[in-house]
Amino acid sequence: MTYCVGMKLDDGLVLMSDTRTNSGVDNISVFRKMFTWQVPGERIITLMTAGNLATTQAVISQLEERTKAPDERDNILLQTPTMFQVATEIGNLMRDIISGRQDANGAKGRGRFTASIIVAGQIKGMEPRLFMVYPEGNFIEASHDTPFFQIGETKYGRPIIIRGYDSAMSLEDAAKLTMVSFDSTLKANLSVGLPLDLQVIKRDTYEASHEHRITHEDPYFQAISSSWGDALKNAFHSLPDYSFYHPKD
Amino acid at 21: T
Among 24, 40, 70, 240, binds its own copies (CB under 8 A): 240
Pattern 38-77, binding to its own copies, x per CB under 8 A?
----------------------------------------
246 binds its own copies (CB under 8 A): yes
| 8 Å CB contact between 152 and 1 | yes
Backbone angles phi, psi at 118, to 5 degrees: -90, 130
247 binds its own copies (CB under 8 A): yes
Q: Strand, helix or coil at 206?
A: coil
185 to 214, contacts with its own copies by CB under 8 A? 187-188, 200, 209-213
Q: Which stretch in 33-41, 50-58, 84-92, 238-246 sits in contact with its own copies by CB under 8 A? A: 238-246
145 binds its own copies (CB under 8 A): no
111 binds its own copies (CB under 8 A): no
First vs last Cα of the chain: how many Å apart?
A: 44
224 binds its own copies (CB under 8 A): yes
Q: Which stretch in 29-37, 65-73, 94-102, 149-157 sits in contact with its own copies by CB under 8 A? A: 149-157
| 8 Å CB contact between 19 and 2 | no
DSSP annotation of 227 reads: H
**Residues with Cβ within 8 Å of residue 168, at least 6 apart in sequence:** 9, 10
- Of 23, 76, 77, 15, the C-alpha closest to 51 is 23
CA distance 81 to 123: 8
CA distance 46 to 128: 11
Nearer to its own copies by C-beta: 68 or 246?
246
Among 28, 111, 124, 233, binds its own copies (CB under 8 A): 233
Nearer to its own copies by C-beta: 31 or 220?
220
Among 171, 192, 196, 201, binds its own copies (CB under 8 A): 171
